[in-house]
Amino acid sequence: MDKTQVDLYHMGAVESKFAEIIWDREPISSGELVKLAKDRLEWKKSTTYTVLHKLCDKGIFKNESSVVTSVLNREQYYGRQSKQFVSETFSGSLPRFIAAFAGEEKLTKKEIASLKALLEEYEKEG
């Protein structure tokens, strides 16, 4: 796992809602983002810019010429978060993670079939 994955910034619940606004609308003007954050999160303009600046500094988004876009799309961000969690919590062992998850939640036949198909796809690629 490379350093950017290990040091990936973890967004809190409110930051995640803000990020979802950007991912759903990008590219989005910073002015429009301020309006949406006010409507959906009840944020002031200064709060929107403070959080946006923080997430840009963390390499998740960029704001160029007052247009906000993602550096990491939704799937990339959450994929890296998942890898980081497995790395930190299960010593990087995906089988240990799945065993822990399955121990708490019984997997459905459909979920098991999906996992098998995913593993078969990775086996073909490798």
Domain borders along the chain are 3-74, 93-126
pLDDT digits (tens, 9 = 90+) for 85-95: 999 999 999 88
Give DSSP secondary structure letters for 77-105.
Answer: HHHHHHHHHHHHHHTT-HHHHHHHHHHHS
**Least trusted range by pLDDT, from 19-33, 45-59, 60-74, 80-94:** 80-94
Q: What is the pTM of this model?
A: 0.77
Domain 3-74 in CATH 1.10.10.10: yes
